[in-house]
Amino acid sequence: MNWDDARIFLAIAREGQMLAAGRRLGINQATLSRRLTHLEAGLQTTLVVRGPQGCALTSEGAALVAHLERAETAMLEGEALFKGGTARISGTVRIGAPDGFGIHFLAPRLRLLAARHPDLNVELVPVPRSFSLSQREADVAILVGRPERGRAVTAKLTDYSLGLFASDDYIADMGCPDGPDDLGKHRLVGYVEDLLYARSLDYAAQIYGAFRPGIAISSALGQMQAVRSGAGIGVLHDFIACAETGLVRLMPAHSVRRSYWLAYHESQREIRRVQAVVGFIKSEVSRASGWIYSARD
């Protein structure tokens, strides 16, 4: 089996679409389709059912993915044996992170990582509802709450807190709630519940109780923008909202505590570019942890 064909098949299996796989590999869709057909012909089986909604693995395709991922892991570990020493850090590392951490905290600091390792390419992507380190959807993941056990190396980064916020304009128009029971008299901003990929993200229910948000946005930063515009009262990350002008913290005693965790697949332990990124994230969070979780005082 040609490894280039196998690598293409893995990308199709992980992306679920020819177009997305082609973009990821930098190969046009026609070439991708032709290489997949060549692989299937050589194995004398159908690996993927192609349809208008994407590509679905056959049972044979799913079985091959499992074998190829083990081979991929072995290749990465072998590569690491010869890229130690004083060689410059290079290659691509994909980081999956929730938007609050990824966009607000990590993205502004990537210039420091780029200055430290100019040959390193970094991809920062949002954590989707379904996420797999073993399928290389990301090399490093930032998760809310402790990850489930598996073939992942995990480390707690920091606690963070969330609380109720409203804009100056909203308060001028609608006033402040005197307590949790008054929230039912106000417009509330929250998440789209069926798009929550982890129950630990359902922190609004912990503060709002039985009251339902009238405005639901599936992005933490989108919620903040809505609250800042005067759309209503929202449960926002303290380390983000407290840095914004025009937002007021309401009922300080009512807050929610969560934790950010870092995870990467155990096969990446010796991959220098991955460990460089892991070390950078841990260092930056350590330096800023007092700011990230300061609302507890």
CATH 2.60.40.1730 fits 91-158+260-291, yes or no: no
Cα–Cα dist 124/252, whole Å: 33
Phi, psi of 203 (to 5 degrees): -80, -20
- 3-15 and 29-43 helices, crossing angle to 10°: 110
133: its two tokens: 């380190």
Cα–Cα dist 89/138, whole Å: 18
Name the CATH topology of 3-81: Arc Repressor Mutant, subunit A (1.10.10)
Domain boundaries, the chain: 3-81, 91-158+260-291, 160-256
158: its two tokens: 């920091």
CATH code of the domain occupying 160-256:
3.40.190.10
Name the residue type at position 289.
S
* Matching fold, domains 91-158+260-291 and 160-256: yes
| 9 and 62 Cβ atoms separated by less than 8 Å | no
Cβ partners under 8 Å of residue 262, min gap 6? 140, 141, 142, 143, 154, 155, 156, 157, 278, 281, 282
pLDDT for the residue numbered 199: 67
| 55 and 16 Cβ atoms separated by less than 8 Å | yes
93: its two tokens: 């590392």
- The secondary structure of 130-155 as a DSSP string is S--TTTTS-SEEEEESPPPSSSEEEE
Name the residue type at position 82.
F
Which stretches of the chain score pLDDT less than 50? 295-297
Closest CA to 68 of 10, 2, 138: 10
